[in-house]
Amino acid sequence: MGLSPERTVAELRELQELTGDENGAQRVAWTETWERARQWLREKVVSTGADEEIDQAGNQWFTLPGASERALLLGGHIDSVPNGGWLDGCLNVLAAVEVLRRIAEDGTPPLTVRLVNWADEEGARFGRSLFGSSAAAGSMSDQDELRERRDADGIALPDALAEHGVGLDRALEARGQLDSAAAYLELHIEQGPVLESLDLPLGVVLGTFGVERHQVTFRGQAAHAGSTPMDQRRDALAGAAKLELEIREVAKRVGGGAVCTMGGVVTKPGIVTSVVETAECLLDQRHLDATWLAEMLSNAEAASRRFAHEEGIEVEWEKIWSIEPIPFDDRLLDLADESVREVAGSSHRLPSGPLHDAAEVARAGIPTVMLFVQSLRGLSHTKLEDTKEEHLELAVQALDRLTTKALEAFA
């Protein structure tokens, strides 16, 4: 019967029907709805004869044995944010199911093929993204902190995981799952506007952005809004305002896809009758190249000191979080380009702003690549998330081609 991309689209609709409501997808990890989605997936895979295993971090694996025990991995996540879209995460799971069916029909593949449905990619309930993939990649190092995390109802993370048979302390044992991995492929919706603006259905992902996140605090002096002359103010918000405009110039200067965002500014005392004493800014900077990312950070730091000096205020930087850029595998990038060109005519390489499970796998040293399919209006994490059906079908075909090429190349 061969590959049936229309079936993938039909199954995506079926999953949406089963686990969504009028507000969107509700497959939040470590909930009953999520478990229902995993059960549904299990039933979909049965016909391929693949063996199922749930690892110590809750990742769901389906293994189709090949001539070699070394494995080509196809990954995705069936969990969603609350009120999420119908494609984020589950597209790659269901496209991979279709590819698995095709391979099972064709006979024994040269490499073992494994579909992994990563546990809790979104981190929607406990604020910890990439749970299952970071455990498997061996990069999870925040267990002590995770033990203390609670959801909005006050339920502790370890208790919620235990309900699904996962022990936080043992999660890192999932690491063994990547021992036999030869390569990792992931198809995802773009969740941004680039491919649509280029009028291209598909693109090849160069890697995931490195991220530098800081809290930048400007400190001046609270003073009466009526009695303090303009030239005698130490206005913390003036520093923040100058910095917000400057980071746009920094991103422009550095280029290469650089993005800088001041996502929030909290001012104190924050009343209409006082000059601002402290302005706490949240700054997020991203680039695919580590050197340029460092350059952006030092540019922003230098600018903030200059503005502090100009305004007679102080500035202090505190790191919130950072991650290095994670470039994907050159050989797989070429194979992905070929695959996309074969099904869609032309290809385009682009970086990924959001992090994905693929980044964790790549960090673990496994050759990795991702395909993006166009997102309409760039929207995601909302029920408005959408992709044309014909593009979804091309995406399934491209993943299938890429899988075939990777099976040959890594055998």
Judged by the rule CB under 5 A, the positions of this chain that interact with Zn ion are 88-89
Residue with tokens 């980044």: 359
Compare residues 78 and 258 and give the one whose CB is closer to Zn ion: 78
Compare residues 27 and 405 and give the one whose CB is closer to Zn ion: 27
Minimum Å gap between C-beta 380 and Zn ion is: 8
Minimum Å gap between C-beta 78 and Zn ion is: 10
Minimum Å gap between C-beta 191 and Zn ion is: 7
Compare residues 77 and 405 and give the one whose CB is closer to Zn ion: 77
Distance CA 401, CA 218 (A): 53
Distance CA 90, CA 88 (A): 6
Minimum Å gap between C-beta 188 and Zn ion is: 6
Minimum Å gap between C-beta 24 and Zn ion is: 14
8 A C-beta contact, residue 118 and residue 357: yes
AA identity, residue 403: T
Compare residues 28 and 237 and give the one whose CB is closer to Zn ion: 28
Compare residues 96 and 315 and give the one whose CB is closer to Zn ion: 96
Compare residues 111 and 392 and give the one whose CB is closer to Zn ion: 392
The number of beta carbons lying within 10 Å of the beta carbon of residue 49 is 11
**Which position's Cβ is nearest Zn ion?**
89
DSSP one-letter code for 232: G
Minimum Å gap between C-beta 121 and Zn ion is: 6
Distance CA 329, CA 73 (A): 14
Residue 238 burial (10 A CB sphere; 0-12, 13-18, 19+): buried
Q: How many residues does the chain have?
A: 411
8 A C-beta contact, residue 73 and residue 411: no
Longest Cα separation, the chain: 84
